[in-house]
Amino acid sequence: MRFMSMVKFSETQLAPPPKAFLEAMDGLIKESAEAGCVMVEAGGLFPTANGARVRLSGGKVTVMDGPFTEAKEVVGGYAIFDVRSKDAMIECTTRFMELHRKHLPGWEGEAEIRQVAGPGEKMCDQAREMHAAEI
């Protein structure tokens, strides 16, 4: 099953991360994959100053340009993992947070973990599609 992790933190913490942190991150991604928690997609987000909010409310669509100064923490990155269970996702995310603790002293933030309801997630095993029928 697939989970998305949305990492939220204050935009004041947006310093370029040290090399050691990035290296440790690469190591952890590989190690997680070997342990069956595969990162299938990930990305960091540019500051909210580069973004905008498009909102429908009261029958009206409004556009508000960033930065979103009123929010204490904003989504700064995301990752999608393929894991066996929610518990595995929690454990995996905990390890990524431990890495932040070790390499980015004082960093604070939160990873919200949500199961993805994509096309592959609601799976039905009743069909049989033999290889020859595939073409």
Partner 1 sequence: MTATDTHRAIEAVFRIEQAKLIGGLMRMVRDVGTAEELAQDALVAALEQWPNSGIPDNPGAWLMTAAKHKAIDRFRRDKLAECKEGELGYALEVEQETAQPDLDAALDDQVGDDLLRLIFIACHPVLSPEAQAALTLRLLGGLTTAEIARAFLLPEATIQQRIVRAKRTLGEKRVPFEAPRGAELEERLVSVLSVIYLIFNEGYAATAGDDWMRPQLCEEALRLGRILAELARDVPEVHGLVALMEIQMSRFAARAGPSGEPVLLLDQNRSRWDQLLIRRGLAALARAETLSAASGRNPHPYVLQAAIAACHARARVAEETDWARIVGLYGSLGEIAPSPVVELNRAVALAMLFGPEAGLNLVDALAGQPELATYHLLPSVRGELLRQLGRLDEARAEFERAAALTQNERERKLLLDRAESCASSSP
Least CB distance to partner 1 at residue 133 (A): 6
CB atoms within 10 A of CB 77: 15
| Options 18, 44, 67, 120; binder of partner 1; rule CB under 8 A | 120
Residues of span 29-68 touching partner 1 by CB under 8 A:
30-31, 33-38, 40-41
Query: What is d(CA 27, CA 22) in angstroms, rounded to the nearest whole number?
Result: 9
Q: Is 114 a residue that touches partner 1 (CB under 8 A)?
A: no
Window contacting partner 1 (CB under 8 A); options: 5-13, 14-22, 27-35, 51-59:
27-35
Q: Is 116 helix (H, G, I), strand (E, B) or coil?
A: coil
Q: Nearer Cβ to partner 1, position 74 or 96?
A: 96
Residue in 16, 59, 106, 122 binding partner 1, rule: CB under 8 A:
122
Summarize the chain as % helix, strand, coil (round to 5): 35, 30, 35
Contact between 25 and partner 1 by CB under 8 A: the answer reads no
> Does 26 help bind partner 1 (rule: CB under 8 A)?
no
Q: End-to-end distance of the chain based on CA atoms, in angstroms? A: 28
The DSSP code sequence of 37-75 is -EEEEEEE---GGG-EEEEEETTEEEEEES--TT-SSEE
Q: Is 20 in the site for partner 1 (CB under 8 A)?
A: no
Place of tokens 């100064």: 69
Residues at the interface with partner 1 (CB under 8 A): 30-31, 33-38, 40-41, 80, 82, 84-85, 87-88, 90-92, 98, 118-135
